[in-house]
Amino acid sequence: MTQNTSAPVRACCAGSGVTPAPEAVAPRPAPVDGRFELTDHFGRAVTERSYGERYLLVFFGFTHCAVVCPRELGKLGAALTRLGRLAERIQPLYITVDPARDDPQTMRAYVARYPGAFIGLTGTPAQVAAARKAFRVFAEPVPDAQAPGGYVVPHTAIAYLMAPGGRYLTHLPDALDVDAVSERLRQQLA
């Protein structure tokens, strides 16, 4: 005679009276770090904490971008305009991925074209690389004989909403339209 050595199986509805303990779930780390040390378009050193209690709407790009950046800055600016007074709680930031061409004056002139009161940020190549890494932004110069300076910089086209102090809240892919962006911003600030 063979003896059954397997442990008894309990079904969830067997009425054993024992409630299994919930498994401890470690909190997931934020997908982006959100820290930076850069120079704003007025020439002042800034970090993610420089904006007090304002939320940060962060987008990376470069001033010689022909399509993506103008489209996204226009869309983000329009979404902020639709928020009305609620937008006063948000500081939109445009961080360059091309510090060789985008000095503070160039950034200031560029962001002035768009609604939303964007502040342009730049820095040394090392500072910009560190900010890109913190936000997990891809950017790589590519030769282009037709472009100013002979190159373009394809880059990640995602906007990030950060809580005051720089904690990640959500991201806004470029596929979202103005209505979706303004609604998601409104929900996050509610």
Which pTM does this prediction carry? 0.84
In this structure, what token pair is assigned to residue 3? 């003896």
Task: Report the DSSP pairing between strands 158-162 and 168-173.
Answer: antiparallel
Q: What pLDDT band is residue 8 in, cutting at 50, 70 and 90? A: very low
What's the pLDDT score for residue 11? 39
41 pLDDT exceeds 70? yes
29 pLDDT exceeds 80? no
Contacts of 107 (CB under 8 A, 6+ apart): 41, 63, 94, 96, 120, 121, 122
Q: Residue 51: what are its φ and ψ, rounded to 5°?
A: -110, 20
Q: Which CATH class is domain 37-189?
A: alpha beta
> Domain residues of the chain, as ranges?
37-189
What's the pLDDT score for residue 190? 86
Q: What pLDDT band is residue 22 in, cutting at 50, 70 and 90? A: low
In this structure, what token pair is assigned to residue 85? 């007074």
Segment 64-97, tens digit of pLDDT = 999 999 999 999 999 999 999 999 999 999 999 9
